[in-house]
Amino acid sequence: MMEQYIEIKTANPDSLLFYRMGDFYEMFFQDAEVASRTLGIALTKRGKHLGEDIPMCGVPVERADDYLQRLIAAGHRVAVCEQTEDPKEARKRGAKSVVRRDVVRLVTPGTLTEDALLEPRRANLLAALVRGRAEDGGFAFGLASVDVSTGAFSVGEVAPAGLGAALARLDAAEVLVPEQLVEELAGALGETRAAVTPVGRDLSDPARAEARLAGHFGVATTEAFGSLSRPELAAAAAIVGYLERTQLASRPPLQAPVRESRGSVMEIDAATRANLELVRTLSGEREGSLLDAVDRCVTAGGSRLLATRIAGPLLEPAAIAQRHDAVAALIEAPELRRAIRRTLGETPDLARAAQRIALGRGGPRDLAAIRDALDAAHALGLRLAALDEAPAELEGIARALADADHALALDLRRTLADELPLLKRDGGFVRAGCDAELDATRALRDESRKVIAQLQAAYSEATDVRTLRIKHNNVLGYFIEVPQSHGERLLKPPHAEAFVHRQTMAGAMRFTTTELGDLERRIGEAADTALGMELALFERLSARVSESWESSRACAEALAALDVAAGLAEVAVDCAHVRPHVDDGLDFRLEGARHPVVEAALKRDGKPFVPNDVGLSAPDGAAGLIQLVTGPNMGGKSTYLRQAALCAVLAQAGAFVPATSARIGVVDRLYSRVGAADDLARGRSTFMVEMVETAAILNTAGPRSLVVLDEIGRGTATFDGLSIAWAAIEHLHEVNRCRALFATHFHELTALAKRLPRLRNATVRVAEWKGEVVFLHEVAPGVADRSYGVQVAKLAGLPASVVRRARAVLDELEAADRASPVERMIDDLPLFAATRAKPQGVAEPDPALEALEALEALDPDALTPREALEALYRLKALKSGG
């Protein structure tokens, strides 16, 4: 047996081996030591190898999912090794023959399908990344992703600069990366929480990609999937090859890969996602995130779809408007909305149930889930069909629901019993009256059970042992059990001839009889026959589900989309959200805007949220405004900045926004640098993290971007920080020309509004009453003259002596600062006195070409000596500049 174990383990060196032995999965050697530490289970030993004890631990098969979940969460991969033949067949080869075993599945973070291993409301993506030549001739990354639990499959092409943002949007559980790129892409991969799996050229080779992909889907050419580039084909093929390798005989059905065009969704980098807490908080929790605040979905599929939409808001105004139309229609039809939500609330997860059945990992309850979901789809399709002048999105949902396989639902309802076991091997899941032959076999089995009861009564009477019981287990079969005191009597005449001793236990003895053995054989045959017939019916139903997989998947997507629209309509009504106007312009105007997460938290405490306007629309429409926000600590600047960004995300995701009115020109890139934290693992201080994030913004933001910056330059010396913040504002205004909110405690920066025409000053208002500060949380045009940091320190509980000393020092510093005002610098320091940076996409001038052009423009015969000398100096300056 150990020879067999070592052979199988050698073939799977990077995985913990779950080696099936009866009712347990056993692990040996180093695997046992690792699993014992990770799972907190006992480490024992069994036999010897090379003179050393063999470490061993095991987990029950029935609880294997719980242990698998913990191992996968700890970053391990698991190879599941099952017995592939009946032990009776092995014994025919000899008394000591080992049962054949083989690995049937490799369990990795991105290939999970079982409910116990998955979060119901979160997609579990497996992604693949391959670099290759793009359509424009340059290099690009093919990025493919698949949710094995539902079969959804997408692929796209990503520019190298946008790789980190694309990976952050997917938030995959596992990413496949060519071995030669793992170190090179460590930075981008480090921004995700995914497990990184290096793969060899056999999976990532573009030359083999088309044949592998076409072979998996059974098509003659990949042109059936549209015009996929070489990197996209390679990434999609890598996923297919990895699934074939890890799922072995059980190939998950997959949707044909859907191509996502480059630039179809808002680009949001990992730092911005973390700062804005879009789908999870900084601590990794869902509660407290934007998604949690607006998720009123009543199905798991709806929540997964809403998370995808918030992670990737659209850029096409027409598509955004279609989503808004669906939400608006359900707001205007409250009775229909409530009825839809009631029905959806009772609808199981069709996508994952159908996938488990197609994979051969489902049970009777999965079939029931498919039945109930298809019934719900049929009912909802009829409701939507009766809707007058339904918007396009609801019409598409209604068509998909109408195409659901209603005949399959009827077959499942006719076949399945009302009460269902978890596992098909337990039987009892076929409805009585469905199959006459099965009913007859069950009657024989159930009648035999009555005979067992009668036989027990007869034995009890004959032996005068009222506590005699006939029991059953998988080892002994049927047996007679009596207390030990009575068992001693059965070992003696006159009972010794009839009762054959089987086992002695603490306090009890077990016996059998010829009559009981014969009855057991007849019962076993009837039970096995009935179970076999049920399993055959299960396989027939599973085959039907697999045949209808495509329509079930489309139906599941429609149910999820309907749930999202109804949920967003519900939150819009409950929280007074308004429909935003989204177009191709550069407007950004919010009236009465609110932060959805903060507002929800205040509402729970019975407190109101103070709304504020945000205006970043320039009068000429040529470029966006920059709003410089000053004000006290604790005044609400960060909330004000964040709520503007979150409104943009919600609007372009297809939701209504927390405001009284909203007009938003499409935001193609969203940047947020709010708060600060060390990144010690990569040797970055708080200030370095701040500068790296700020650099990414200034280097890539464009006119359609929305930039939210909070406290730039506060992590270093005052003049250093002020200088950096000053230059950053000038760069945003002159080079990036984007819409931006810039919060700062450097009040000197407000003077920049005199020279930057698209810079506006705003302040968070406060009031002072009896020496105390009252935060009004109102943002109004104007400038703050102080930050009230000492007052906040007092509120925080600093000793009174420290607060008094801080006030005295502050008075001295402010007096010195007034003696040397910064306004002189505004007048004396030319804007961008140094060489200006160039906007993104504009090439830097080549000094050599400029020199050649200058030489060609010269006419030596027409130059005076002074002009010739000046020309020479100009050429020298070009040389030093290059």
Known binding residues are 631-638
Location of structure tokens 């159908």: 354
- Residues 193 and 298: beta-carbon distance below 8 Å: no
Axis crossing angle, helix 392-402 with helix 317-331, rounded to the nearest 10 = 80
Give CB contacts under 8 A, 24+ apart, made by 7-16.
8/79, 8/81, 8/101, 8/102, 8/103, 11/103, 12/79, 12/103, 12/106, 14/77, 15/76, 15/77, 15/78, 15/79, 15/106, 16/71, 16/76, 16/77, 16/78, 16/79
**At 570, which amino acid appears?**
E
d(CA 81, CA 4) in angstroms, rounded, equals 11
Q: CB-hemisphere CA count at 13 Å for 476?
A: 19
Tell me the β-bridge partners of 663: 581, 589
Q: Which residues are documented as binding site for ATP? A: 631-638
**Cα 633 to the chain's mean position, in Å?**
34
DSSP conformation letters of 207-253:
HHHHHHHHHHHT-S-GGGG----HHHHHHHHHHHHHHHHHHTT-PPP
Q: Look up residue 36 and give its two tokens.
A: 């014992």
**Cα 826 to the chain's mean position, in Å?**
48
| H/E segment holding residue 582 | strand 581-583
CA distances from 625 to 595, 615, 621, 650 (A): 21, 8, 9, 21
3-state SS of 441-500 is: HHHHHHHHHHHHHHHHHHHHHHHCCCCCEEEEECCCEEEEEEEHHHHHHHCCCCCCCCCE
Location of structure tokens 């999105």: 393
| H/E segment holding residue 659 | none
DSSP conformation letters of 868-881:
HHHHHHHHHHHHHH
d(CA 671, CA 693) in angstroms, rounded, equals 9
CA-nearest of 766, 742, 748 to 674 is 742
Question: For residue 47, which phi and psi values (nearest 5 degrees)?
Answer: 70, -175
- Residues 671 and 272: beta-carbon distance below 8 Å: yes
**At 697, which amino acid appears?**
I
Strands (E), 522-572: none
Paired sense of beta strands 772-781 and 759-769, if any = antiparallel
